[in-house]
Structure 1
Amino acid sequence: MNTTSPLKIGILGAGSIASTMAHTLSRMEGAECVAIASRTPDKAREFAHAHGIARSYGSYESMMKDPDIELVYIATPHSQHAENAELCLSHGKHVLCEKAFTVNATEAERIIALARARGLLLAEAIWTRYMPSRRIIDEILAGGAIGTATSLSANLGYSLGHVGRLQDPALAGGALLDLGIYPLNFAAMFFGHDIRETISSAIMTDRGVDASNSITLCYEDGRMACLHSNMLAMTDRHGYIFGDKGYISVTNINNCEGINVYNLKRELSAHYDVPPQISGYEYQVEACAQAIRDGRTECPDMPHEETLRMMCLMDAIRASWGMRFPME
C-alpha cells in the first residue's frame, strides 16, 4: 500500500449498506472506491453510475482481477461472507467484512487462518467498535463518574418484517446475527467476556429464525447484562450502564448520538456529544488503512480473538434455541 495515496477499495455487493459505504468513501480523503461488483451486471452498472465509481463488474470473480484494488468491502448476506472473504483473500486482497462476520465460528476460524497465512488484513465491519463514542464511554467509566458498574442493558429493534433476507434461513436470517450482535458488542466492549452463564429465549418465525430475542449475560464478578433485539418492532435503541454512584445513558447503541451521565438523584451531571461524521463508516475504513500501513492482519479495535468470541457466543445462543441454518 502506498502510504501517500488513498486506500483503493472495491465493494462486493450492491445493496443499501454498500450504498452507504460508497457515499462515505466519496467524501473521505484517505480512501476511495474504485470498483463495484454484483452478480447482476446491470445492477453493478447502475450502482457505479449512481455513486460515480469508475469500474463495475458483473461477477465477484472478475473484480478480483482488478490490480488497483487493495481492500474489498464485503456487503453481501451473512450466508455468503465466508465464501466471499475466501475469494478475496485467495486473490491477495485485504478484506473488511460486514457483520455478522460469518454464519458461525467454524467459518470465522477458517477465513481468519487464511488471512494470517497470506499476511492480509481481515477485519469485521462492526462499526460501533471503531467509533469515538466507545472511547468516550471508556473514559467516563475509568474516571469513576458512576462508581462501580454492576449491570447494563441494551436493545436494538427495527420494523423489518418486509426484508426478505432476514426471514430466510438459507441467508442466515433472524434478529440475532443482524441486530442482536449490537447489544452483544455493547456488553462486550464495556463488561468483557468473562461470562459465567448465558440465559436466553427467542420468539421464532414460522420459517425457523428468531424474530425477537432476550439475552442475559451473568459474569464471573457478579455483573449482569440484559439485552434485547427485535426485527419486527421499533425500539428506543438505548444502552445503559448502571453503577453505585449513577448511570450512563447512551442514545442509539447502533450509531451513538449522545451520552448522558446521571448522579444518584437521577439528575443529569454531564453530557457528551460525539464528533461530526460522514456516516460512521469512515472510522472502520480509517482503522483498516492504518492496520494495512502497519502490516497487521487484524484491527486493534476489533481483533480476531474478539470476532471469534462473539461468533462462539452467538453459536451457543442459537444452539440453546435449537436454531440451525441449512448450511450448517
Structure 2
Amino acid sequence: MNICKVGIIGAGSIAQKMADTLNRMENAIVYGIASRQLEKARSFADKFNVPHAYGSYEELVADSEVDLVYIATPHSLHYEHARLCIEHGKPVLCEKAFTANARQAKSLLKLAKEKKVFITEAIWTRFMPFSKTIRQLLDDGIIGTPSMLTAGLSYAVAHKERLFKPELAGGALLDLGVYPINFALMAFGNDVENITSACVKNEYGVDAQNSITFRFKDGKMAVMQSSMLCAGDRHGVISGDKGYIIVDNINNPQQATVYSKGHEIIKQFHCPPQISGYEYEVEASIKALQEGALETRDMPHEETLRIMQILDELRSEWGVQYPMDIEPGNNAC
C-alpha cells in the first residue's frame, strides 16, 4: 500500500476535520465520503476535493478501492457501521467512544478477529507523540513518585442533539469523559482497584456532568470531571513527591510544564508540529495494516474493551441507560 485510500462514513464536523487532515498527509488521501443524503456527501466532496461521494454507506464499503474506513457518526451508530465494514472486509478506524456499550464492543472485536479484519478506536490522544513524552517524563522520575492526578474536560455543548439524547448514546461521559479517563490510564496504568463517582443528569436522563475517582492498587488516585454544561480549563495535573506536571489541554496537549514542589517552573515541554493531531491515528492504522496486524499497539482491543466496561459500570451506577443497552430479544426495562 503506497497511498492509503480512506473512505469516511458520516459528513459532520469531525469528518471534516479528518478530511482536512488527510488532504495534508503524504501517505493517505480521502478517497470517498458517504452520507445518507447524497447531496450532503457531494457538498462535502466538493469542499474537500474528495473524488467519490456516496448516498449510502453500503456503496462505500462495496468499493474495492477503499483501504480504510473512518467512522465519524454518533456513538449510537458505531456498532452498526463498524459491523457493516467488517462484514465487507474493510479495515476500520472508529471514532471514540468505540461503541455505545461493552457488549457491542465485545461483539465487534470478536467478529473482527473471526473475519481477520483490522479495527481500532480513534481516541486520538492515545496515538500522539506528546502523550508518550508525558508518560516518559513520569517514568524518568522528573516529579519523583507520582501519587495523584486531576483532569477535566468541559464544553458548553448541552444544546447538541447527539449529546443530550439517550437514543444517540448521549451524555458528557462518552463524548468528553473518555479523555480524562484515558489521560489517567495512560499516566497511571490499568490496575484500578476502586471507582467512585457522581453525576447530574439532564431532563432526558443522560449525564450532563460528572465526577469520577479512580483508586489504583498501588495507592495512586485520579480525580476526573467532565461536563457539557460549562467551559473548563481542560488541564491535567500529575503530582509527585518532588513536584508536579501541568498539561495544558488533555484533549490535544500542546505544552507540559514541570514544577518543583516549591511551585517553581523547572522545565517546559512542547508538542511537536502537527497537522491536527488526527494524523497519528491514521499513521498507526496504516502501519498496522502494512504489518498485517488486527489492532494498533497504541490502542489495543483489550484496552478499548476495558474502558467500555468502565463506562458501562459508571452509567449503571448513575442509572443512565441507552436503548441499545437492552439486548435483542430481551424486553426487560
* TM-score > 0.5, shorter chain as reference: yes
Unaligned runs of 5+ residues in structure 1 are none
DSSP 3-state at the match of 1:85: helix
DSSP 3-state at the match of 1:9: strand
Structural mapping, 1:192-231, within 5 Å: 192-231=189-228
How far did residue 223 of structure 1 move? 0.8
Cα distance in 1 between the residues matched to 2:116 and 2:98: 19
Cα distance in 1 between the residues matched to 2:243 and 2:97: 33
Of the three residues 309, 316, 321, the one matched with 1:319 is 316
1:90 aligns with 2:110: no
How far did residue 166 of structure 1 move? 0.5
| 2:72 alignment counterpart | 75
DSSP 3-state at the match of 1:117: helix
Structural mapping, 1:131-150, within 5 Å: 131-150=128-147
Structural mapping, 1:305-316, within 5 Å: 305-316=302-313
Cα distance in 1 between the residues matched to 2:195 and 2:206: 19
DSSP 3-state at the match of 2:64: coil
Structural mapping, 1:55-74, within 5 Å: 55-74=52-71
Unaligned runs of 5+ residues in structure 2 are 326-333
Cα distance in 2 between the residues matched to 1:204 and 1:77: 20
TM-score (norm 1): 0.98
Q: What one-letter code is carried by the residue in structure 1 that aligns with 2:95?
A: E
Q: What one-letter code is carried by the residue in structure 1 that aligns with 2:318?
A: W
| 1:157 alignment counterpart | 154
Q: What one-letter code is carried by the residue in structure 2 that aligns with 1:263?
A: S
DSSP 3-state at the match of 1:308: helix
TM-score (norm 2): 0.97
Structural mapping, 1:44-59, within 5 Å: 44-59=41-56
DSSP 3-state at the match of 2:324: coil
How far did residue 196 of structure 1 move? 1.4
Of the three residues 99, 102, 108, the one matched with 2:99 is 102
| 2:276 alignment counterpart | 279
1:117 aligns with 2:114: yes
| 2:329 alignment counterpart | none
CA RMSD of aligned residues (A): 0.6
**Cα deviation digits, residues 162-203 of structure 1 (max 9, x gap):** 211101110000000000000000011011121111000000
**Cα deviation digits, residues 210-254 of structure 1 (max 9, x gap):** 000000011111110000000010000000100000001100000
**Cα deviation digits, residues 274-305 of structure 1 (max 9, x gap):** 11111000000000000000100000000000
Aligned sequence identity (%): 52
Structural mapping, 1:239-318, within 5 Å: 239-318=236-315
Structural mapping, 1:180-195, within 5 Å: 180-195=177-192
Q: What one-letter code is carried by the residue in structure 2 that aligns with 1:165?
A: R
DSSP 3-state at the match of 1:173: coil
DSSP 3-state at the match of 2:323: coil
Cα distance in 1 between the residues matched to 2:198 and 2:113: 36
How far did residue 151 of structure 1 move? 0.7
Q: What one-letter code is carried by the residue in structure 2 that aligns with 1:161?
A: A
Of the three residues 164, 167, 189, the one matched with 1:167 is 164
Cα distance in 2 between the residues matched to 1:87 and 1:137: 37
Cα distance in 1 between the residues matched to 2:123 and 2:301: 12
Give the number of equivalent residue pairs: 325
1:33 aligns with 2:30: yes
